Chains A and B, each alone.
Chain A
Amino acid sequence: MTATTEVKISVRDVAKTFPVRTAPAQIAAIDGVSFDVRRGEFLVLVGPSGCGKSTLLDLIAGLTTPAAGEVLVDGRPITGPGLDRGVVFQQYALFPWRTAQANVEFGLEVKGFNRRQRAERARAVLDLVGLEQFGDRYPHQLSGGMKQRVAIARSLAYEPDVLLMDEPYAALDAQTRESLQEELLRIWRRTGTTIVFITHGIDEAVYLGERVAVMTSRPGRIKQFVDVRLDDPEPGEDPRSTPAFMAKRHEIWNLLHDEVLRAADLETRERLNEVA
């Protein structure tokens, strides 16, 4: 789908540590992570819980700084958050005192658009996510799926080159999740935005991604990349049950399985230490 091989994001030997109460030393959340994301690529990160996926995303977003290594966007080291990158959170993070439309306009206000430009743009983006009727609703009047659509619209509105999505669909029910996945692919094809998407759902990873990065348990490292570009399914066929899909799914499952066990073991031991 993407013809260019131009590098958009470059993560180079990045490490991040956290202080913890129970341990005397700091804990390495991620360590020695290196990978490139091509312009317009859809990269999915999967890994056991606590492997530092979100930390990695925060680093690319510029919300935290690495303890070692660097993150480059368009070849330049990032110095902080910026409107060239948009973040979508699992918990939507909509401003509850703003209507859907006003939420979408938020980034445009920051970018300095005038009132008319903002309204026009916000309406167009709400239309893109199928919420043109709901611009005047407040977040508490919207369903979970609608809230996440607004959150995606808010990020798309100021046209970032990169969309960083941190388990955006984890809190949604299965049907809503599927329709939002489909919608995201449609938007991605239409806008050509580079997407880095975190999930713990293997199906979601295979369905959405062009490439899936499987991470190890803590300290998180990239274990392996799996190319998951699949041929379009026959019309009317369930894209998630083709043999090719199943094969990819199985491959990633195998890669993840040991890591998940290790992560669970790690967590058990830590909890025990905490009690002791």
Chain B
Amino acid sequence: MTSTLEKPATTTAPSATAAAPAKTRRRFNRKWITSWIGVAVLLAAWQIVPSLGLVERTFLPPLTDVLHAWWGLASGGELWTDIHVSLQRSLSGFGIALGVGIPLGLLIGWYPIAAELLSPVMAIFLNTAAIALLPVFTLILGIGETSKISIIVYASLWPVLYNTISGVRNVDPLLVKSARSLGVRNLRLFQKVILPAAVPTIFTGVRLAGAASILVLITTEMVGAKAGLGYLILNSQFNFQIPQMYAGILTVSVIGVAFNYLLLSLERRFSTWRTA
């Protein structure tokens, strides 16, 4: 579940989208169609396999049953409440993590000693599954909103912090030298060279943090919550409302994909120049 957290992924370069617009678009369209075929096959299998009785319908209802249940939840209004609560939690956590992580990362990256001192510590935090610390958060902050948002902040903070620092630290020294040869120093060097050079790496961190915020959100909502998508999924399972459970899972997956896609396109937009 936390596999995306385990890689700092500072090297994930965005795929080429900038050079020749028309040609790229055509290729992009084809890629787009191809990738949707895979999704269509998956959905079709979800429908057909239980219908044919290859798996127990009770445990894996066909897609249409799930969609039907989803519609029921949506028109009844409770789905929207859960989505609202969940998004509020993950977005607050994510937002706080960015607000703290980016400025702090810039500051730490700017001072080599701070970066060297903190890197190993951060590697530990980054590679410790946030969920493992859930009991600690519950212990200290209880089971309310504070502890839920705190653990989301915690999980999203490390990827942002780590990538921001490495973005600042790994600016091409030649660019710095080139700016220095013009007499540019200190704050101005930071503003005109270091910061713009680090933006793509920072955005990689932002995207990873986004994924982390949703992953952790669902788990926290399965432990002591009265609303939210994680609660919906677990509660449906307790009450043996299996189609409703799958409807919840489907919603989480759609939100996750959409959020990631949004952040990915933002990342691309800010790093078009990196496509060599």
**CB within 8 Å of B: which residues of A?**
61-63, 80-83, 85-87, 89, 91, 93, 95-98, 106-107, 109-110, 138-141, 158
Does B184 sit at the interface, judged by CB under 8 A? Answer: yes
Whether the pair A97, B183 counts as a contact (CB closer than 8 A) is no
A96's nearest neighbour on chain B, judged by CB, is B273
Q: Is the interface of B mostly helix, strand, loop or mixed?
A: helix
| Contact with A63, one of B177, B184, B193, B196 (Cβ below 8 angstroms) | B177
Min Cβ gap A51→B in Å is 20
Whether the pair B19, A141 counts as a contact (CB closer than 8 A) is yes
Does B54 sit at the interface, judged by CB under 8 A? Answer: no
Query: How many Å lie between the Cα of A89 and that of B175 in the bound state?
Result: 10
10 more A-B residue pairs beyond the given contacts A89-B174, A97-B199, with a C-beta to C-beta distance below 8 A:
A81-B180, A83-B183, A95-B196, A106-B179, A110-B184, A138-B272, A139-B273, A140-B276, A141-B19, A158-B182
Does B181 sit at the interface, judged by CB under 8 A? Answer: yes
Interface string of B175-191 (1 = CB under 8 A from A): 10111111110001000
User: Which chain A residues border B183 with CB–CB below 8 Å?
Assistant: 80-83, 110
Known: A93-B174, A97-B197, A97-B199. A140 touches B181 (CB 8 A): no
User: Which chain B residues border A87 with CB–CB below 8 Å?
Assistant: 178, 181
Whether the pair A107, B182 counts as a contact (CB closer than 8 A) is yes
Whether the pair A96, B178 counts as a contact (CB closer than 8 A) is no
Known: A63-B177, A91-B174, A141-B19. A96 touches B182 (CB 8 A): no
Known: A89-B174, A141-B19. A97 touches B273 (CB 8 A): yes
Q: Is the interface of A mostly helix, strand, loop or mixed?
A: loop
Min Cβ gap B238→A in Å is 52
Whether the pair B175, A140 counts as a contact (CB closer than 8 A) is no
Whether the pair B273, A63 counts as a contact (CB closer than 8 A) is no
User: Which chain A residues border B181 with CB–CB below 8 Å?
Assistant: 61-63, 81, 85-87
The tally of residues in B whose CB lies under 8 Å from a CB in A reads 23
User: Which chain A residues border B19 with CB–CB below 8 Å?
Assistant: 141
User: Which chain B residues border A83 with CB–CB below 8 Å?
Assistant: 182-183
Does B119 sit at the interface, judged by CB under 8 A? Answer: no
Question: Which among B18, B177, B188, B192 has the highest number of chain A CB atoms within 10 Å?
Answer: B177
Whether the pair B196, A97 counts as a contact (CB closer than 8 A) is yes
Whether the pair A140, B199 counts as a contact (CB closer than 8 A) is no
User: Which chain A residues border B188 with CB–CB below 8 Å?
Assistant: 110
Whether the pair B184, A93 counts as a contact (CB closer than 8 A) is no
Does B237 sit at the interface, judged by CB under 8 A? Answer: no
Does B274 sit at the interface, judged by CB under 8 A? Answer: yes
Query: How many Å lie between the Cα of A91 and that of B178 in the bound state?
Result: 10
A57's nearest neighbour on chain B, judged by CB, is B181
Whether the pair A93, B178 counts as a contact (CB closer than 8 A) is yes
Whether the pair B274, A96 counts as a contact (CB closer than 8 A) is yes
B270's nearest neighbour on chain A, judged by CB, is A97
Whether the pair B275, A95 counts as a contact (CB closer than 8 A) is no
Whether the pair B175, A63 counts as a contact (CB closer than 8 A) is no
CB-defined A-B contacts under 8 Å, sample of 13: A81-B180, A83-B183, A87-B178, A87-B181, A93-B177, A95-B193, A95-B197, A96-B197, A110-B182, A110-B184, A138-B272, A139-B273, A140-B275
